[in-house]
Amino acid sequence: MVGRRKCFNYKPLLFLALICFGVASPLRLAQFSIPGVIYTTSQQLDREYKAEHILEVSVSDNGEPPLKSTSRVVLEVMDVNDNAPSFPHKLFVVNLPEKVASETPLPVYRMIAIDHDEGLNGQITYSLEENDEGFFSIHPETGMVFTKKAFSAQEYSILTVKATDGGSPPLSSSVRLHIDWIPKPILSSDPLAFDELHFNFAVMETDLVNHMVGVINVEAGLSQLWFNITERTTSSLEL
């Protein structure tokens, strides 16, 4: 050990390790393994911003000329449950046409929350906290609100919908859903036509949940129109 000199200068993440040896022979040098330690800095890593970081690390000695080697370091940022499910609005107020009672629950309105975490941490379960005397139910996975009850115009329903993720501990958020039941539209003799025979929209597969896909225009002088999806190949799209 006599006569050996070593010095380190670690710069976390950038990892430029200055290694100096005063070792007597190359054979002695090969016996030592000097670790390079990578540290996080004061800037916190965020998986939702960037899930993987790639560093190129180099090491060089103090020889003349210096010898150098490089390596690639891949750093995966593991997820923690640091995002609560969130709804795009704090309050939803929707107008729905009056309806008659039904044997089976009929869909009323779909609530959608997003959670940027991964796996169970981002898996959302919907429930009703405030349920207008128990007349409504909600699908725990889709967020679709159902009811069997008849509602006539001028009635008003107030619900509180809660979205909870599957993290440990779970995080949740709640929003109000107000339903204003209004008269069914009167049949009109006014012509009604879509602007186009076919509408074509393109979306990115990475688009967020609840992202707007497109707007369907109608040529009509009516102030109130009702849109409905009458045929579909996916349940991933809603009006």
Closest CB to Ca ion among residues 47, 139: 47
Would you count residue 81 as binding Ca ion (CB under 5 A)? yes
Which range binds Ca ion by CB under 5 A, 69-77, 97-105, 111-119, 212-220? 111-119
Residue among 15, 23, 83, 128 that touches Ca ion (CB under 5 A):
83
Q: Is 163 in the site for Ca ion (CB under 5 A)?
A: no
Does residue 82 belong to the site contacting Ca ion (CB under 5 A)? yes
Query: Toward Ca ion, which CB reaches closer, 83 or 157?
Result: 83
* Interaction of residue 113 with Ca ion, rule CB under 5 A: no
Of 157 and 164, nearer to Ca ion (C-beta) is 164
87 contacts Ca ion (rule: CB under 5 A): no
User: In the bound complex, what is the minimum distance in angstroms from residue 110's beta carbon to Ca ion?
Assistant: 20
Closest approach of Ca ion to the CB of residue 78, in Å: 9
The residue among 132 and 165 lying less far from Ca ion, judged by its C-beta, is: 165
Nearest residue to 156 via CA among 137, 175, 184, 178: 178
Here the tokens at position 81 are 């449950």
> What stretches of the chain adopt beta strand conformation (E)?
6-7, 16-18, 20-21, 52-60, 68-76, 91-97, 106-110, 124-131, 136-138, 144-147, 156-165, 172-182, 193-194, 218-219
Q: Going by C-beta distance under 8 Å and a sequence separation of 6 or more, which residues neighbour residue 185?
A: 97, 224, 226
- Contacts with Ca ion in 8-37 (CB under 5 A)? none
How many residues bind to Ca ion according to rule CB under 5 A? 8
Phi, psi of 119 (to 5 degrees): 60, -140
CB of 135 to Ca ion, least distance (A): 30
Longest dimension (CA), the chain: 103
The answer for residues whose C-beta is within 8 angstroms of residue 159's C-beta and 6 or more apart is: 128, 130, 131, 132, 136, 145, 176, 177, 178, 179
Token readout for 87 is 């709804």
Token readout for 167 is 């993290």
Residues near 154 by beta carbon (within 8 Å), at least 6 away in sequence: 181
Task: Classify burial at 45, counting beta carbons within 10 Å of its beta carbon; exposed 0-12, middle 13-18, buried 19 or more.
Answer: middle
- Residue in 109, 117, 144, 157 binding Ca ion, rule: CB under 5 A: 117
Is residue 164 a contact point for Ca ion (CB under 5 A)? no
Nearest distance from C-beta of residue 81 to Ca ion, angstroms: 5
CB of 94 to Ca ion, least distance (A): 26
Is 132 among the residues that bind Ca ion (CB under 5 A)? no
Q: Which is nearer to Ca ion, 82 or 130 (CB)?
A: 82
What is the binding site for Ca ion (CB under 5 A)? Answer: 79, 81-83, 115, 117, 121, 165
